Every structure is written in structure tokens, then in C-alpha cells.
Structure 1
Amino acid sequence: MPTQPMTDTLNTPLKSTSPLTRAARLALMGVHFLYGFYLLAFRYRKLDRTAQVRLARRWSLRMLKVLGIEVVMRGEWPGEYPANTLMVANHISWLDIFALSSQTMTRFIAKMEIRHWPVVGWLVHAGGTLFIDRTNRRDASRVNQIMADALQSGDCMAVFPESTTSEGNVLLPFKSSLFESAILAGSRVQPVTLRYLDANGIPTTDPSYAGDTTFRESLAAILRHKVIRVEVTFGESLAAGTPPYDSRFALAEASRREVAAALRLSRDRPDTDGLSPLDPQAEVL
């Protein structure tokens, strides 16, 4: 029997999940979220670091599975919780945190507003997230020192240096401010690239939580897919504080190049502080 040409497979229209499947996934997501609340409230802080890491990884993997998300890891795995390591990744979706945590557990940096969200603010705080006031430029110095202290004590931290989400088909400039923590702590900086693909292996923007997209719209688009594959690619680890990575600007630029390469972007541009997703110089897949 002749095999179907690959081009036909790639052009096959995707079938949406049934309303019943979407409802079941939504219900399971709610149950799993409540289970996570229970773990953080009553168990998580009583465990040692190794047990916390493994519990969080299992919980994240399960959440992704409930939503029909398959994870593919590429590159050299840095380990469950690599000490004194700053993870830096491109930012597309609220799923990014689960995708990263399913492979390597980290403590995240988030905007201060999230700390005041009902329930969610408490959850992320209990999970070890640090918060930064993005409206106050001076707050970066405070957070850098806290991050540096945490890194030197053996923590693994994670930031999204684009400072906002994109649809995944562009890579915004990396803001360099929080790379200073890695310089202060003499850390390894680990670039990580996230890509979301549909069942045909084609990049999809449906998981995106960018622009005017609401959480409800993003979740509805995800639930319509039978399967979405997220690729988590670990790039070359960089030694902060040693030439040629002895400045936060050099670290930001080198990290961005690693992510751009894994996203298969055609060109590269150094860190700046001012461009939006609508900027005509933004790199497009």
C-alpha cells in the first residue's frame, strides 16, 4: 500500500475535540488545580528540597497531560534543580511555567500585581516566586540582590527577559536588568526555548496569552486541540561573570541568540529596552 506523502499529512485539517472532551478536560484541570492548592497549603513546605522538586515536576506534567499537552525535551538536560543557575526563556503562554517546571524546577520572577491576585497570588508566593515592581526601575536592584543571594545558596531561578508574552512567532528584545543577579552570584545562565506545535508538527499560536487575548480565550483555543506539543530546548549554558559574558548586556545578547537559533529565526539583534511586538524590526519565523 503506498504511503501518504508528508506534504498531505502536514496539510491535513486538524479536527477539534468534542464539547464533551473539552468539558472533561476543564473539569480535570479544576480538580488538579485544587489538588495543587492542597499540596502547597499542607505538604509542600514540610518537604525537603529534593522532594519539593519532584512533587512540583510531577504536578506540572500531570497538568499538561490533562490539557492534552505533550512535552518534548531537546538539548542537554541541566538536571532537576541545577544549583546556582539562572534559566532564561522566551515567553508565549501561561503554559510556559508548567512546561519549564515539568523538566527542571525553578523559582520564578513575576510582576508584583500577581502577588495581590486572589488565591493565585498566594499560590505562586507559596511556591517560592519572587515579585518585582516593573513600574519602579529601582526595584530591579532589590530583586537582583535577592536573586543573587538565592542563587549563591543553591537555588535555580527563572525569568522571562522579554518581560511580556508574544504569539510565539516573534522574539522580542531581552531586557538585561535581571541578568545582573547572575553576574553577582557567578551563576550559570541557561537559555531555554519554548515552541508550541500542533498535531501536524506546525507551530501554532493558539496557546499564546499575548496582546488582548484573555485567559478564557487562550484556554478555549488550547482545549480545541486534540494534542499540542511543546518543545523545551536547553541551549548552551553560559558562565556569567567570565569573558565574554562579564556584563549583563553580553549575557542578555548571547542568551537571546541561543533562543533565536532554537526558534529558527533568520537574524539576530542585541538587547534593547524599548520595542513592542508590533515593531517592524521584530524577528518573525
Structure 2
Amino acid sequence: MDRTAMPDNDELNTNTSAEEQHEPGEPRAPHRPRRRRSVIRAAVLGPLLVAALLPMGLVHVVLTRSPVPSHRYAMTQLWYRFALRVVGLRVIREGGPTRGRPLLLLANHVSWTDILVLGATVPGCFVAKADMEDWPAIGFLTRFTRSIFVKRDDPRKVGEQTREIGDRLRGGEPVILFPEGTTAAGTQLKPFKSSLLGAVRLALPSEDTAMTIQTAALAYVRRGGAPMDADERRNYAAWIDDEDFAPHLTSVLFGPPMTVRLIFGDHFEAGHGTDRKHLTRRAEGDIAALLERGLTQG
């Protein structure tokens, strides 16, 4: 199995920390030193992350006109990798995005941090909820990263939205879609929605060609070096849609660093005749299996 780490994850290959070696029933070591490092990291790197947007944005404008699809996301990938360092999120990656194009990548959705993890790895765009475009700061970042904004609850917009997704796919850009349509607690999946998978047909230039579908799962497994249970995963890793953003951002920035497993699944082909509901069920089953594997590995 291919197992690589993101650039900021050197600590994952070191010996088990003292916190991880505690005996059952023993109180865990306090998180104060880790919190102190988190505060220093956020205070020093946070302003640099914001300041980097201007020079990176200028280069980004030029690169978006490149005929090479991966060049269009070179700056956003660098920014995502920098952001991972700022928030202290450690990533264990298994596998990677396939080279097949056009590529639609489907993944489970736990938190806004999923975007950092996937964006640092996959040179492509996200499908985002339309209301995110108007959020302070977040709206700017979603536009900077060339997200496609959709209104999932407006049937009149589905055709227009799938056409935009299809245009990106035909242009060679991977498109990253969260089929749950919202965030979940990180332990189980919510039912997948099939409407936007109609982009499969629109992405194909002719009836005798196929598009590549690949699945991936994000499993948040540790916090401060200690394994998280379901309650901790819900309370610290997950950010459910109706929750305030600022408290969760503060918790991630200044709390003990989390570890997430990003596992890429096998890819398969989908043609003009592929039924979107069948495709949705297959993807849901594949991602559920990957998520269970990631949580089990810890």
C-alpha cells in the first residue's frame, strides 16, 4: 500500500509520544505544552498565511490562464499546504489521485478542514454551497481557489451547475465533490445526493468515452497524539453546518493538533449510460468502507 505523508507531517514517523504510551486507566498527560505550541504557531504563521494571499494571488491570476490544468492550481495547493501548518493538522495519506481524466473525486465531508487536506493534495476545484460565496473571509478564499458554487436545493439551477462542472472536467481539471451535501460527525456517512452526479454525462465529449470516478475518505483519528473516540471526533473534528464557525476555528487553531487519515480508493469508469443513482450507491459503499478502514487503523 502506498503510504506517504504531507510535507508537514514529519512527526508522524517518529517514535510514539509519551501521551500515546499511557497505560489504560492512567490519567493522560496534560495538553498545556501542546496548546502553548499551538498558540505560538497560530500567532506567528497565521499573519503570514494572510499576507501570502496577495503575492500568491497575483501569480494565481496568471496561472489560471495556463493551458496546463495542474498549473491553474499551483498557488492554491501551496496556500493549502501552508494553511495545514498554521492549523497544525497532520495528514497521513494513503494512495493518491489517479491520472485519469476527466476526473470526478468523491469524498466524505466532516469539516472545513477537509478542504485544506484535499486541496493540498489534488490540483482541482471544489463544489461549494452557494451561500459560502458571501461569508466573510471564507467567501474570498473559495473564490480564490476557483470553487464552483451550487444551490443544491434549487432544482432550476441543477442544469446550469452541472454544465459548469462538466466544463471544468472537460478542461482537464479534477472536480472534488462532497456527495453528502453537508458535513457529518466523522464516524458515519450521511445519505449521498445524486443530483450533481449528472455532470458525468455532460463531462463526456462523446457517447463512446468515459469519465474517471475516484473515491476518498477522511478519517480524523487523533488529537494531541491520543486516539479520538466518537464523541471527541464529533466535538473537536467535526464542524456541522449550523454551528458557529469562530469557536470551531479557535478550537482547531489553539487546541492540541489533530491527525487525519486521507485514504484514496480505487477508480472506475462511468460512461453516458451510467445511472447516476447506481453510481451514487457504489460511491457511498466504497467511501463507507474506506472511512471504516481509516478509523480502525487510527
Aligned partner of 1:151 in structure 2 is 169
Aligned partner of 2:8 in structure 1 is none
Aligned partner of 2:221 in structure 1 is 197
Aligned partner of 2:134 in structure 1 is 116
Aligned-partner residue type, residue 73 of structure 2: V
Counterpart-to-counterpart distance in 2, 1:71 and 1:10: 28
Q: What is the aligned-residue identity percentage?
A: 25
Aligned partner of 1:87 in structure 2 is 105
Structure 1 residues 185-217: Cα deviation after superposition (integer angstroms, max 9, x where no partner): 232111110011211243533121115432222
Aligned-partner residue type, residue 218 of structure 1: H
Give unpaired runs (5+ residues) of structure 1: 266-285
Q: Tell me if structure 1 keeps the 8 A contact 2:102–2:212.
A: yes
| Structure 1 residue 219, shift from structure 2 partner | 2.2
The 3 A distance-change label for structure 1 pair 17 and 105 is farther
Choose the corresponding residue for 1:249, options 269, 277, 280: 277
Structure 1 residues 74-102: Cα deviation after superposition (integer angstroms, max 9, x where no partner): 1x3225x7631111111111100000012
Choose the corresponding residue for 1:65, options 80, 85, 97: 85
Aligned-partner residue type, residue 217 of structure 2: T
Counterpart-to-counterpart distance in 1, 2:249 and 2:280: 31
Aligned-partner residue type, residue 238 of structure 1: F
Moved more, 64-73 or 37-46: 37-46
| Structure 1 residue 41, shift from structure 2 partner | 3.4
Choose the corresponding residue for 1:168, options 186, 197, 200: 186
Aligned length: 258
SS at match of 1:209: coil
TM-score with structure 1 setting the length: 0.80
| Structure 1 residue 103, shift from structure 2 partner | 1.4
Q: Tell me if structure 2 keeps the 8 A contact 1:207–1:221.
A: no
Counterpart-to-counterpart distance in 2, 1:239 and 1:100: 21
Counterpart-to-counterpart distance in 1, 2:116 and 2:182: 17
Q: Tell me if structure 2 keeps the 8 A contact 1:207–1:219.
A: no
The 3 A distance-change label for structure 1 pair 14 and 143 is farther
The 3 A distance-change label for structure 1 pair 11 and 134 is farther
TM-score with structure 2 setting the length: 0.77
The 3 A distance-change label for structure 1 pair 17 and 224 is farther
Counterpart-to-counterpart distance in 2, 1:139 and 1:155: 22
1:23 aligns with 2:42: no
The 3 A distance-change label for structure 1 pair 136 and 83 is same
Q: Tell me if structure 1 keeps the 8 A contact 2:123–2:173.
A: no
Q: Tell me if structure 2 keeps the 8 A contact 1:64–1:98.
A: yes
Bigger proportion of residues as helix: 2
Q: Tell me if structure 2 keeps the 8 A contact 1:183–1:248.
A: no
Give unpaired runs (5+ residues) of structure 2: 1-17, 204-209, 294-298
The 3 A distance-change label for structure 1 pair 15 and 130 is same
Over the aligned positions, Cα root-mean-square deviation in angstroms equals: 2.7
